[in-house]
Structure 1
Amino acid sequence: MKKRLAFLAMALMMIIPYTGTATAKAESDSYQPKREMRAAWIASVENIDMPPGKNKEEFKDWAANTMSQIENQNFNSAVFQVKPAGDALYPSDIEPWSSYITGENQGTDPGYDPLQIMLDAAHQRGIELHAWVNPYRLTMPGEELSDLSETNVAVKHSEWVVNYGDQYYLDPGIPETQEYVIKTIEELVNNYNIDAVHMDDYFYPYRIAGEDFPDSDSFDQFGENYEDKEDWRRNNVNTLVDDINTAIKSIDPSVEYGISPFGVWRNDSIDPSGSDTTAAQTNYDDLYADTRQWIKNGSLDYITPQIYWSRDFQPANYTILQKWWENEVDQYSQVHPTNLYIGLADYKVGTDTIDDTWNNPAELTEQIKDNRNHSGVEGQMHFSWSKILQNKLSYMDLVQDEVYYTKALVPEAPWNGEQKPKKPNRIKVEHNNNIYIYDNKEAEKFVVYRFEGNKEGDYSNPENIAGVVYSEGKETHFVDEEAEKDQEYTYGVKSLSSTNIESKDAKKAKTKNHNS
């Protein structure tokens, strides 16, 4: 999915140092935020992070193990790719089964629902699940239209399809394709209790030198109000982004909508308000993704620019781009705030042949520390899960030891609902530190705090978070796996709303552990 290495390395030149400032929020390298997005992308396309061909029980085991590992590494979210290319990793009335789940022909039913299994595995461990979709891509390189299922939209509506390079896409300029994409999102949000819908950087495809995207016919038919085809293309994307957000919120206002665009909006050589970079391709000029306008319109809840470069890489410097995006969100979030997360290049650690900085196992850890030093950055997403597991140069050990050694709650989105929930009705703690939480019907999930001894401690300190659990109805069960035998604890449980707002007060209980 993220096969953009060739594009990121293309013809980048020198930059001018950034002179802006940002407000520091971390007093030291040991600062641990109570709220911070810590997400892992789990890519299904070409089976980057998800193995194919598993039966239901094997897939359930894989999902459970994956989410347990994510939880144990103190991540709090997973971004699971459920619609990689005109297909679905869930039973859909609109799209065929993805070949990436079975390893067989597109349209082959695996006999189970991968998305629901992943969603259950995530929520059972207090992990958010963001459903990651690609709107327009139909094939990957080397694939032909003949490889697609007869129920694929490309087969049913060949008049919507264009060929660009060695791939096929839906033409974003045709209104019916927009309507089709929105219907697929509505189906997802109607049928699954997902926490967010997520899109990445593939709107119009990355530009191929010497080859224009073949949309002249649709421009002639639908672009009558535009003299400039590129402005029309940008409007097509802006309209889709806004309409998807409207569709999501009309079904469930608490479901977030987030996008992870390419890391450079525009170079300042083209636009003085762009970043001090020399990227050969940019969102605005090549992908027709005007990310600034989405922020202005309030069309998304979070944005995660893919700043897949090091702090020493001059043509597209991590620190320069981090500050630029922070300023964008601060300046242009006019309808409601937009949470800013940074997309991190775990896949480059120990493998990049252009920038030697990625041979330093501490580079990613230092980027996270830099994020924490800027009040406008609310966390990060890591690409991707298989690279986290590979742990090249033991870089993830450093992340765990230096920046992710406590748990963290995901950031709030109060503009989607600011009601503060009531605390749980009551809680009960049994001898194995099995905690039973009795719901007040207002909570989406609960955060469990553990304090040693018979007194409450500091609820603002993330070191006291034992874990998060999604509400299971009248009685929710949480097991404190890290509780020590025969240690006396005081537990406090607070409610979290569907927009991650925490209750003011906690319900408390005390116990002396008697693990056997």
Structure 2
Amino acid sequence: MRRLLRWAATAAALPVLAACTGTPPEDAGPAEAGADARPIPAECEAAADLPKRQMRGVWLTTVRNIDWPSEPGLEAEEQKEELRAQLDAAAELGLNAVFFHARPTADAVYASDKEPWARYLTGEQGGDPGYDPLEFAVREAHARGLELHAWFNPYRVGWKDPDLDGLSGDHPAVEHPDWLVEYDDQGWLDPGLPEVREWVTGVVMDVVDRYDVDGVHFDDYFYPYPAGGEEFDDDASWEEYGDGGDRDDWRRSNVDALMADVHAAIEESEPWVRFGVSPFGIYRNAGSGPGGSDTEGLESYSAQYADTRAWIEQGSVDYLVPQLYWERGFSAADYEVLAPWWAEEVRGTGVDLYIGQAAYRVGEDGEKAWEGDGALARQLDFSGGLPEVGGDVFFSMQDLRGRAQGAMERLSEDHYALPALPPRAGGGEGRPDPVGGLGAERTGDGGVRLSWDPVEGARSYAVYRVAGDGADDPCALAGRDNLVGVVGAGDGPSFTDTAADTAAGAAEDGSGGGDEGLRYFVTALDRYRTEGAPGEGEAVAAPTG
């Protein structure tokens, strides 16, 4: 049996383990105080059977009070209490990101000088809830080690009753009535107007510049979903800007331009903020044109004029979350057809792919595929085996805490038993400093409480537990095998490993090193999600008896 590595006495060994943490590009320069940190060597990457980065997200919807707040008009403290409970539940389910609905109907779930307060807060559009929900959500999410992506509907103004009938005087559709197009029972800002594109980009950047969000997220609402017998009346903008070309191509070019504008603005201002979209799950059917999927359903390419392939090719998005809300084996839109199709589209492009999962369908009447606690795990059993699939996002929070609770608990056992770090943002230079001042003490109930000194610039921390003789393995931190927690940054960061004695006992029984106890390591992650080198490890003796 190999001896437990003595980090304090063998300082030269630190760079070896440090080399196995983080994944910046090969030419990234190390931070001054973390000069020993280097990219993961190829042999360490190969040794990581379980990659430690994975998107595990949930949509938290505010429109029509689907997820939060439970009803309009609650007092500020009641709203905060409900939101804390939602974020607690997300963390307990093993998730690491919340997609918070910040702009549901060209209004704001945050303090804005550009658009009025959303009516879902107080019951009246423009009604001040008495606090800033987005600011509160960001702070509370980060405290739990969760990312927060601000979710925007770029064009939707809302439903006629009560949204369009109750627009406040400072709503953009009231101040610019020529921007509004009514279609079926809804209202939309006209995507064909350059001033609308400029406005939406400005709204997004107002949030990016003022709030510490981790991402900006658009859903599938660009041009509206088709309604039988209805025509989207953009004749005026078409006549002024269409240049006599194909109208469908022009509409797609309008959406393409918005995507490029928003991505470029974020990249220039706050490049660590990731920009992504969750399009409808079918881009195009193979029968409609080259490159489509073997499906027979509504196409986002021709229905919402969302050309996701162009966004991938042009680098207008950092990630995609196609809404694959159909089960494995569904003839018109088979999950087993669509997940590989999307994986092929992003392969080698640098665009990350996560799958939008239909938690709302669990237990659906008459649908055998969605019965039982294995309904969601079955989906991930398939798509989780595709190398390009970097995680999943679930719709929506109320379902994870309701009809899909059992299915999510089963999924957590099968797929989320170990924590995961969030995906890394592109760019950034160097790494956070190594964590110092790590201390450990037993809690008396089989756990170990860790505390350490804050690291400047840290957004979160990763906590690793390595058993006995595995502590000197230079690749011990390369995967998530030994990751036990992700902790939000704070003035006095800490983590309690409640399963410490269980882990030590398991090591003694089978994996080796239990008689020599455990050793803990902590690393810091910055706003790019770049991981720093581990500081000196802290040993905890095996429990007696």
TM surpasses 0.5: yes
Q: Provide the residue aligned with 1:10 in structure 2.
A: none
Q: Distance in 1 between matches of 2:206 and 2:277?
A: 19
Instruction: Classify the secondary structure of the residue corresponding to 1:441.
Output: coil
Q: Provide the residue aligned with 2:314 in structure 1.
A: 297
Select the structure with the greater relative contact order (CA < 8 A; seq sep ≥ 6).
2
Q: Provide the residue aligned with 1:447 in structure 2.
A: 462
Q: Provide the residue aligned with 1:492 in structure 2.
A: 521
Q: Is the 8 A contact 2:454 2:493 kept in 1?
A: no
Instruction: Classify the secondary structure of the residue corresponding to 1:416.
Output: coil
Change (3 A) 1:461 1:248: closer
Q: Provide the residue aligned with 1:328 in structure 2.
A: 345
Q: Provide the residue aligned with 1:22 in structure 2.
A: none
Q: Is the 8 A contact 1:96 1:107 kept in 2?
A: yes
Match of 1:313 among 323, 330, 333: 330
Structure of greater Rg: 2
Q: Deviations over 1:245-291 (max 9, x none)?
A: 11112211100001000001111101121000011x21111110100
* 2:493 maps to 1:482: no
Q: Provide the residue aligned with 1:146 in structure 2.
A: 165
Q: Provide the residue aligned with 2:42 in structure 1.
A: none
Q: Is the 8 A contact 2:219 2:279 kept in 1?
A: yes
Q: Provide the residue aligned with 1:419 in structure 2.
A: 430
Instruction: Classify the secondary structure of the residue corresponding to 1:62.
Output: helix
- Structure 2: runs of 5+ lacking an equivalent: 1-45, 505-516
Q: Provide the residue aligned with 1:92 in structure 2.
A: 112
Deviation (angstroms), 1:391: 3.8
Q: Is the 8 A contact 1:423 1:503 kept in 2?
A: yes
Identity %, equivalent residues: 37
Q: Which moved more, 1:385-394 or 1:478-487?
A: 478-487
Q: Provide the residue aligned with 1:35 in structure 2.
A: 53
- Structure 1: runs of 5+ lacking an equivalent: 1-26
Deviation (angstroms), 1:484: 5.1
Q: Which moved more, 1:48-57 or 1:185-194?
A: 48-57
Deviation (angstroms), 1:467: 1.7
* 2:303 maps to 1:286: yes
Matches within 5 A, 1:251-262: 251-262=269-280
Which 4+ stretches in 1 moved above 4 angstroms?
430-434, 452-455, 483-489, 511-514
Q: Deviations over 1:423-456 (max 9, x none)?
A: 2244334565553333443533211113456973
Change (3 A) 1:445 1:397: closer
Q: Provide the residue aligned with 1:233 in structure 2.
A: 251
Q: Is the 8 A contact 1:265 1:284 kept in 2?
A: yes
* 2:451 maps to 1:436: yes
* 2:360 maps to 1:347: yes
Q: Distance in 2 between matches of 1:89 and 1:393?
A: 27
Change (3 A) 1:393 1:424: closer
Q: Distance in 2 between matches of 1:315 and 1:169?
A: 30
Q: Deviations over 1:90-140 (max 9, x none)?
A: 1101111111122x2111101011111111111111011111010111112
Deviation (angstroms), 1:345: 0.6
Q: Provide the residue aligned with 1:338 in structure 2.
A: 351
Change (3 A) 1:54 1:509: farther
Q: Provide the residue aligned with 1:3 in structure 2.
A: none
Q: Distance in 2 between matches of 1:285 and 1:446?
A: 44
Matches within 5 A, 1:13-412: 32-50=50-68, 51-52=70-71, 53-102=73-122, 104-140=123-159, 142-224=161-243, 226-279=244-297, 281-330=298-347, 333=349, 337-351=350-364, 353=366, 355-392=367-404, 394-412=406-424
Instruction: Classify the secondary structure of the residue corresponding to 2:438.
Output: strand
Q: Distance in 2 between matches of 1:152 and 1:133?
A: 16
Q: Distance in 1 between matches of 2:375 and 2:89?
A: 22
Q: Is the 8 A contact 2:458 2:524 kept in 1?
A: yes
Instruction: Classify the secondary structure of the residue corresponding to 2:86.
Output: helix
Q: Is the 8 A contact 1:448 1:466 kept in 2?
A: yes
Q: Is the 8 A contact 1:371 1:379 kept in 2?
A: no
Q: Is the 8 A contact 1:431 1:513 kept in 2?
A: no
Deviation (angstroms), 1:513: 11
Q: Deviations over 1:217-242 (max 9, x none)?
A: 11001112x41111111010000001
Deviation (angstroms), 1:304: 0.4
Deviation (angstroms), 1:83: 0.5
Q: Is the 8 A contact 2:179 2:190 kept in 1?
A: yes
Q: Is the 8 A contact 1:453 1:490 kept in 2?
A: yes
Q: Is the 8 A contact 1:145 1:155 kept in 2?
A: no
Write the letter of the residue equivalent to 1:124: A
Q: Deviations over 1:362-402 (max 9, x none)?
A: 23202112222111110110011111111448222211221
Change (3 A) 1:115 1:393: closer
Instruction: Classify the secondary structure of the residue corresponding to 2:408.
Output: helix
Q: Distance in 1 between matches of 2:538 and 2:79?
A: 37
- TM-score norm. by structure 1 comes to 0.86
Q: Provide the residue aligned with 1:4 in structure 2.
A: none
Write the letter of the residue equivalent to 2:320: I
Write the letter of the residue equivalent to 1:88: A
Instruction: Classify the secondary structure of the residue corresponding to 1:138.
Output: strand
Q: Distance in 1 between matches of 2:492 and 2:536?
A: 14
Q: Distance in 2 between matches of 1:283 and 1:153?
A: 27
Q: Distance in 2 between matches of 1:172 and 1:352?
A: 38
Q: Distance in 2 between matches of 1:205 and 1:373?
A: 34
Q: Is the 8 A contact 2:107 2:116 kept in 1?
A: yes
Q: Distance in 2 between matches of 1:114 and 1:97?
A: 10
Instruction: Classify the secondary structure of the residue corresponding to 2:401.
Output: helix
Number of positions where the alignment pairs a residue of Structure 1 with one of Structure 2: 474
Deviation (angstroms), 1:485: 7.7
Write the letter of the residue equivalent to 1:350: G
Write the letter of the residue equivalent to 2:215: A
Q: Distance in 2 between matches of 1:243 and 1:377?
A: 26
CA RMSD of aligned residues (A): 2.4
Q: Is the 8 A contact 2:147 2:214 kept in 1?
A: yes
Instruction: Classify the secondary structure of the residue corresponding to 2:145.
Output: coil
Q: Distance in 2 between matches of 1:68 and 1:236?
A: 39
- TM-score norm. by structure 2 comes to 0.82
Instruction: Classify the secondary structure of the residue corresponding to 2:220.
Output: coil
Q: Provide the residue aligned with 1:17 in structure 2.
A: none
